[in-house]
Amino acid sequence: MVKIEEPNSKFVKVRCPKCKNEQIIFGKASTEVRCLVCGNLLAKPTGGKVKIKAQVLEVLE
């Protein structure tokens, strides 16, 4: 029997601290993630997981 591994990367729902827009971002993004409404920086890549600079509302499976 072959075991299939689950991916360990997740999507994260965050709220922009500037304009309160809610947005879903990838937890291992390779580029800077900015708010789609005001352009504020929400997450910065670190080579693995992103450093989130916004309020995390929910981790999506």
Q: Is the pLDDT of residue 13 over 80?
A: yes
Give the predicted TM-score (pTM) of the model: 0.81
Question: pLDDT, tens digit, for every residue of 23-53?
Answer: 999 999 999 999 999 999 999 999 889 999 9
What pLDDT score was predicted for residue 9? 84
The CATH number assigned to the domain with range 11-60 reads 2.20.25.100
Q: Minimal CA–CA distance to 22: which of 41, 35, 9?
A: 35
The conformation of residue 40, written as its DSSP 8-state character, comes to -
Q: pLDDT: is 44 or 61 the higher one?
A: 44
User: How far is residue 13 from each of residues 2, 5, 22, 23, 33, measured CA to CA in Å?
Assistant: 33, 24, 7, 6, 12
Map residue 57 onto helix, strand or coil.
strand
Q: From CA 8, how far away is CA 23, in angstroms rounded? A: 20
Q: Is the pLDDT of residue 54 over 80?
A: yes
Domain boundaries, the chain: 11-60
